């Protein structure tokens, strides 16, 4: 979800779903050591509970970055061992780390030593030709022994060669039963399932086998699905779409944020609703106007 789940996206989603956990886009340890820390770490207080997702492979750098996250007020630090992008592979982290469970264990130990908030790991069920259950189970056991109690498992393997990141989200088959088996054999661990989940009914089914469900791209493309999840899973009624839109208008007005950087995350708010096409077109046409959201709402109502 790099370049997607930035602070504006998370604030928007939080308005719809106050009770779900939010994760940042992956931030590399190099960006935090040598880059603009506030740009990568700033967020709104309303975003809690929020986890900082890190990319890296050096225990010292990850401990440093995790401590930054804790000092910044994050509720959790998550190590990404599942991203298959070329950039990540060139840096020898992300999904590549599944081939090095001892290194991941050392990274988790270093982070746990540096901070008091939870350290979690996100991974795949396998990589390339290594997708047998024993491969995943060894990874989970080794990293758990280093102090990781929560694993977010994308129920697809990753092909590090031959598939693009987009293809890695679609071509390798989903094998939810593999994640279920990990939970069955490690009942003391918190196992969160991820990958291809698009409905509230699917979420409910997965929760009978796992401790949690992570939904990524569907919540971006169809964000109001979070309202169904809030009502069904948490028993909480979300604001209406129009109310959410007006709160986002106030968010832009009350901060020094470029309107286009905010509304680009809101295209799907009226997906499959009357006026949805007008909403999307207006957000695109008036993306740099401070009143872009009000303009879009007015155009929808007058259509």
Region 42-57: mean pLDDT is 96
Pairing of strands 27-28, 22-23: unpaired
Name the active-site residue from 83, 107, 123, 210. Answer: 83
Helices (H), the chain: 7-16, 29-34, 37-41, 59-72, 86-90, 101-114, 133-145, 165-168, 176-185, 200-207, 217-221, 225-229, 241-253, 259-263, 276-285, 292-302
Percent of the chain with pLDDT over 90: 84
C-alpha span between 36 and 278 (Å, rounded): 37
Distance CA 117, CA 132 (A): 32
The Cα–Cα gap between 153 and 72 comes to 26
Digit-coded pLDDT (tens) for 110-132: 999 999 999 999 999 998 877 68
Residue 92: predicted pLDDT: 60
Give the span between the Cα atoms of 25 and 202, in whole angstroms. Answer: 24
State yes or no: is 83 an active-site residue.
yes
DSSP string, 1-32: -TTTS-HHHHHHHHHH-SSS-EEPPPEEHHHH
Domains of the chain: 7-234 (3.20.20.70), 241-302 (1.20.120.1460)
- The pair of three-digit structure tokens given for residue 83, joined into one six-digit string: 């991203």
**Mean pLDDT in residue range 35-55:** 95
Q: What is the mean pLDDT of residues 52-67?
A: 97
Using an 8 Å Cβ cutoff, are 62 and 119 in contact?
no
What pLDDT score does 131 carry?
66
Q: What is the pLDDT of residues 158-196, one digit of tens each?
A: 877 766 666 666 667 899 999 999 999 999 999 999 999
What is this structure's pTM? 0.93
């Amino acid at each position: 979800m790099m370049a997607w789940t930035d602070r504006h996206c998370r604030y928007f989603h939080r308005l719809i779903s106050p009770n779900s956990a939010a994760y940042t886009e992956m931030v590399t340890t190099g960006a935090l050591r040598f880059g603009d820390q506030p740009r990568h770490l700033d967020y709104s207080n309303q975003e809690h509970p929020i986890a900082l997702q890190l990319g890296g492979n050096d225990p010292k750098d990850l401990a440093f970055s995790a401590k930054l996250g804790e000092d910044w007020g994050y509720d959790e630090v998550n190590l990404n061992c599942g991203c298959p992008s070329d950039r990540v592979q060139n840096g020898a982290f992300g999904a590549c780390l599944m081939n090095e469970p001892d290194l991941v264990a050392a990274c988790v130990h270093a982070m746990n030593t540096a901070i008091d908030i939870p350290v979690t790991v996100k991974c795949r069920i396998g990589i390339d030709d290594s997708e047998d259950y024993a491969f995943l189970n060894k990874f989970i056991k080794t990293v758990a022994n280093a102090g990781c109690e929560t694993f977010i498992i994308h129920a697809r393997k990753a092909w590090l060669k031959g598939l693009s990141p987009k293809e890695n989200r679609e071509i390798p088959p989903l094998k939810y039963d593999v994640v279920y088996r990990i939970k069955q054999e490690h009942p003391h661990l918190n196992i969160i399932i991820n990958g291809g989940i698009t409905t509230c009914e699917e979420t409910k089914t997965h929760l009978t086998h796992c401790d949690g469900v992570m939904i990524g791209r569907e919540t971006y493309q169809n964000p109001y699905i979070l309202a169904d999840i809030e009502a069904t899973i948490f028993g909480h009624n979300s604001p209406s779409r129009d109310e959410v839109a007006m709160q986002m208008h106030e968010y832009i007005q009350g901060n020094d944020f470029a309107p286009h950087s905010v509304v680009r995350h809101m295209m799907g708010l009226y997906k499959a609703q009357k006026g949805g096409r007008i909403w999307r077109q207006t957000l695109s046409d008036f993306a740099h106007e401070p009143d872009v959201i009000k303009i879009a709402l007015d155009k929808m109502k007058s259509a």
